[in-house]
């Protein structure tokens, strides 16, 4: 029963032998070394690993914000790394993104932030946009905060607004970059519940990059661990300590030693 | 023994460093060129953000009026005084109007306006875009398939292209009035001679030169200031976070000011 046999359709995201390095020519730092994995459609893939291991780089490669040095990044079978500007723009309509710092536009109100993708990317009337945003605000318990600016919101509220904005166009794939960083345990649970609710309702493919180990694994259909250039894929957190890769076992021992013992 | 072993290594390092710098400069010029292309292309993309354009027009244009007024008044008055003392020695005070107006229209007006706008609005544009970049707001726009050039960079370009020549015109008028105040009202030069000299010496060619300069300077300053902010994370030695924005903002103002001065000479040499 491999992962492939349980997924009948083509994976939503596929990395094939992807390499990515940063820095000037004389001091290049290899972050991803021939990384290969796939994220099944409609499922949740959690990417975890230490700081600086390339987790956020993977998200940027998926979005086409970075191009790989070599290898291929396929989104629904299309190679995003060789796409031109126009094709890339149309490919991005598939995505919703919740950024680490929420990336809300600080000169726009909560309402304007959530309405932005609808205003810019659809032909809905002002009234239709208003009612759709109002419904979203109610679902995410943000009613009454629509006229506030991001600087006036708490961390948890910013995340909720960010999620509302990311889901406005009902994307096929939603990427979460450290969705609970800086939040207290109550807020963290709230964000997880919100994630489960929205994924159930919209059925999107989720890719979550997180440090919140092992709690984040409860949401995962597939877990990808990165450490010191090695990558391993698991369908269950209980498999992690038995990885064949020494750096992954070391990471598991360091981070989740208590839980896996 | 050691010295002979170290020599080629250090030489290699120097040559490597020069090569690295050359590649960096070429890459930087390339990305700034692409940035300019997309910024100008964004002017023709629909829907045009008229509200944002008006906001930028108010910020770059109307917001700079005070600083332009005082700079122009002071420059004009200084020109009036200096001109009077120089011309007085030859008994040619009647040429004051001509000297003040030509200097302002062809040189000081466009140059000082561009420098003032670079310092006031250019720095603000660079810092704003730099902060949007480091807080992932530009990435967020791109991820929503919204073209950041059409959304907020091109309106800045258009606003600067309209504001800077208009501010230059304001500078010229206020400067000439400053020269009139200092020369005529304070030093007693004949008012009629002042304006007659100006009317006789200023030709449409001189005005055209001033307008061309102000348009070129507008492109230079808005291009450099927005471009530096947009690429804040790619600029060598800028560092990270808030520090990178502050360093790049300083760099943008310095670079745009130097470019304005260099292009001022080139345009004068070619078009005069």
Q: What is the pLDDT of residues B48-67, one digit of tens each?
A: 889 999 999 999 999 999 99
Contacts of A96 in chain B (CB under 8 A): 143
Which positions 78-97 of A are in contact with B (Cβ < 8 Å)?
89-90, 92-93, 95-97
Question: Could you give the CA distance from residue B244 to residue B222 in angstroms, rounded to a whole number?
Answer: 19
The pLDDT value given to residue B266: 95
Chunked in runs of 10, what are the mean pLDDT values of chain B (272 residues)? 60 88 92 94 89 94 94 94 88 86 93 95 95 91 89 94 96 95 89 89 92 96 95 82 90 95 94 82
* Residues of chain A contacting B151 with CB distance shorter than 8 Å: 120
Indicate yes or no: CB of B144 within 8 angstroms of CB of A117. Answer: yes
The reply to whether A67 touches chain B by the CB within 8 Å rule is: no
Q: How far A25 CA lies from chain B's nearest CA (Å)? A: 7
What band does A6 get if pLDDT is binned at 50, 70 and 90?
very low
CATH topology of domain A3-254: Rossmann fold (3.40.50)
* Cα four-point dihedral sign B150, B154, B156, B161: negative
**Cβ atoms < 10 Å from Cβ of A144:** 9
Whole-angstrom distance, CA of residue A35 vs CA of residue A15: 7
CB within 8 Å of B17: residues ≥ 6 apart: none
Nearest to A130 by CA among A149, A109, A105, A99: A109
Report the gap between the CA of A244 and the closest CA in chain B (Å): 36
Q: Do B20 and A24 lie within an 8 Å CB cutoff?
A: yes
What SS3 class is residue B144?
coil
pLDDT of residue B60: 94
CB atoms within 10 A of CB B10: 9
CA distance B239 to A43: 38
Distance CA B218, CA B236 (A): 26
- The span from the CA of B119 to the CA of A72, in Å, is 45
Report yes or no: A67 and A212 within 8 Å, Cβ to Cβ: no
Q: Do B136 and A63 touch (CB under 8 A)?
A: no
Of B16, B23, B145, the CB nearest to A121: B145
Rg (CA), chain A: 19
> What is the average pLDDT value for chain A, to the nearest integer?
84
pLDDT in tens, A44-88: 999 988 777 788 889 889 988 889 999 999 988 888 888 888 888
pLDDT digits (tens, 9 = 90+) for A207-230: 999 887 887 888 888 998 888 877
Contact between residue A184 and residue A136 where contact means Cβ atoms under 8 Å apart? no
Contact B210, B172 (CB under 8 A): yes
**Which pTM was predicted?**
0.82
Instruction: Look at residue A3 in the predicted model and tell me its pLDDT.
Output: 41
pLDDT tens digits, one per residue of B162-209: 999 999 999 999 999 999 999 898 888 888 988 998 899 999 999 999
**A89 and B147 in contact by Cβ < 8 A?**
yes
DSSP state of B149: I
Q: Closest CB to B135: pick one of A93, A101, A121.
A: A101
Cβ B139–A99 below 8 Å, yes or no?
Answer: yes
Q: Cβ contact (<8 Å) for B140 and A105?
A: yes
- Could you count the other beta carbons within 10 Å of the beta carbon of residue A168? 22
A208 closest CA partner among A117, A97, A67, A68: A97
Residue in B140, B148, B240 to test binding to A, most A beta-carbons within 10 Å = B140
* DSSP secondary structure string for all residues of B186-221: IT---HHHHHHHHHHH--HHHHHHHHHHHHHHHHHH
Three-state SS annotation for chain A: CCHHHHCCCCCCEEEEEEEEEECCHHHCEEEEEEEEEEECCCCEEEEEECCCCCHHHHHHHHHCCCCCCEEEEEECCEEHHHCCHHHHHHHHCCEEEECCCCCCCCCCCHHHHHHHHHHHHCCCCHHHHHHHHHHHHHHCCCCCCCCCCHHHCCHHHHHHHHHHHHHCCCCCEEEEECCCCCCCHHHHHHHHHHHHHHHHHHCCEEEEECCCCCHHHHHCCEEEEEECCEEEEECCHHHHHHCCCHHHHHHHHHHHHHHHC
Nearest CA in chain A to B134: A103
Cβ of B137 within 8 Å of Cβ of A103? The answer is yes
Of B142, B147, B236, the CB nearest to A65: B142
Q: What are phi and psi of B79, to 5 degrees?
A: -60, -40
Asked if pLDDT for residue A181 goes beyond 90, the answer is no
Give residues 14 to 53 of B whose Cβ lies within 8 Å of A: 16, 20, 23-24
Sheet holding A70-75, edge to edge: A29-39, A13-22, A70-75, A78-79
CA distance B116 to B113: 5
CB B220 within 8 A of CB B158: no
User: Residue B126 contacts by C-beta under 8 Å, 6 or more apart in sequence?
Assistant: B225, B226, B228, B229, B248, B249, B252, B253
Mean pLDDT for the stretch of residues A240-244: 83
CA–CA distance, B117 with B159 (Å, rounded to integer): 12
Q: In angstroms, what separates the C-alpha of A56 from chain B's closest C-alpha?
A: 12
Residue A8 has pLDDT above 50, yes or no: no
Q: With a cut of 70, say whether residue A125 has pLDDT above it.
A: yes
Chain A hits for B137, CB-CB cut-off 8 Å, are 103-106
The nearest alpha carbon in chain A to B141 belongs to: A117
Question: With 50 as the cut, is the pLDDT of residue A260 above it?
Answer: no
Judge: B136–A106 Cβ closer than 8 Å, yes or no: no
Measured between alpha carbons, how far is A248 from B106 in angstroms, rounded to an integer? 69
Helix (H, G, I), strand (E, B) or coil at B139: helix
Q: Is the ipTM of this complex over 0.90?
A: no
């Amino acid at each position: 029963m491999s992962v492939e046999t349980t997924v009948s359709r083509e994976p939503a995201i596929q990395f094939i032998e992807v390499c990515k390095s940063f820095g000037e020519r004389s001091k290049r730092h290899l972050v991803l070394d021939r990384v290969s994995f796939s994220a099944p459609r409609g499922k949740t893939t959690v990417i975890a690993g230490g700081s600086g291991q390339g987790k956020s780089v993977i998200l940027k490669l998926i979005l086409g914000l970075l191009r790989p040095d070599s290898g291929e990044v396929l989104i629904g079978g299309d190679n995003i790394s060789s796409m031109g500007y126009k094709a890339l723009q149309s490919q991005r309509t598939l995505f919703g993104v919740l950024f680490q710092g929420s990336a809300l536009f600080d000169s726009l109100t909560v309402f304007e932030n959530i309405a932005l993708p609808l205003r810019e990317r659809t032909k809905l009337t002002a009234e239709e946009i208003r009612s759709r945003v109002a419904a979203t605000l109610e679902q995410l318990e943000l009613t009454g905060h629509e006229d506030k600016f991001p600087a006036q919101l708490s961390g948890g509220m910013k995340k909720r607004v960010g999620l509302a904005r990311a889901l406005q166009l009902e994307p096929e794939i939603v990427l979460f970059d450290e969705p609970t960083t800086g939040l207290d345990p109550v807020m963290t649970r709230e964000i997880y519940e919100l994630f489960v609710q929205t994924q159930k309702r919209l059925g999107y493919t989720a890719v979550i990059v997180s440090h919140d180990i092992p709690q984040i694994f409860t949401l995962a259909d597939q877990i990808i661990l990165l450490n010191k250039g090695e990558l391993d894929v698991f369908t269950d957190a209980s498999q992690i300590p038995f990885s064949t890769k020494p750096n992954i076992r070391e990471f598991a021992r360091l981070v989740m030693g208590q839980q896996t013992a | 023994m050691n010295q002979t072993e170290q020599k080629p290594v250090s030489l290699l390092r120097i040559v490597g460093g020069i090569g690295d710098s050359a590649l960096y400069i070429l890459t930087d010029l390339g990305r700034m060129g692409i940035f300019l292309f997309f910024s100008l292309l964004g002017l023709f993309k629909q829907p045009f953000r008229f509200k944002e354009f008006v906001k930028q027009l108010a910020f770059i244009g109307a917001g700079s009026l005070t600083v332009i007024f005082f700079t122009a008044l002071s420059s004009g008055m200084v020109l009036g005084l200096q001109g009077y003392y120089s011309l007085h020695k030859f008994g040619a005070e009647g040429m004051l109007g001509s000297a003040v107006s030509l200097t302002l229209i062809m040189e000081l007006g466009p140059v000082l306006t561009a420098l003032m706008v670079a310092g006031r609005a250019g720095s603000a544009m660079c810092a704003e875009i730099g902060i949007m970049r480091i807080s992932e707001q530009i990435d967020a726009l791109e991820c929503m398939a919204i073209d950041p050039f059409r959304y907020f960079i091109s309106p800045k370009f258009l606003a600067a292209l309209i504001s800077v020549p208009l501010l230059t015109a304001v500078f010229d008028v206020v400067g000439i009035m400053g020269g009139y105040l200092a020369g005529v009202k304070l030093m007693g030069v004949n008012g009629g001679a002042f304006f007659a000299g100006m009317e006789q010496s200023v030709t449409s060619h001189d005005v055209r030169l001033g307008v061309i300069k102000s348009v070129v300077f507008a492109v230079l300053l808005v291009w450099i200031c927005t471009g530096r902010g947009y690429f804040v994370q790619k600029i060598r030695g800028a560092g990270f976070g808030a520090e990178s924005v502050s360093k790049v903002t300083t760099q943008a103002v310095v670079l745009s000011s130097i470019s304005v001065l260099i292009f001022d000479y080139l345009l004068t040499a070619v078009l005069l």
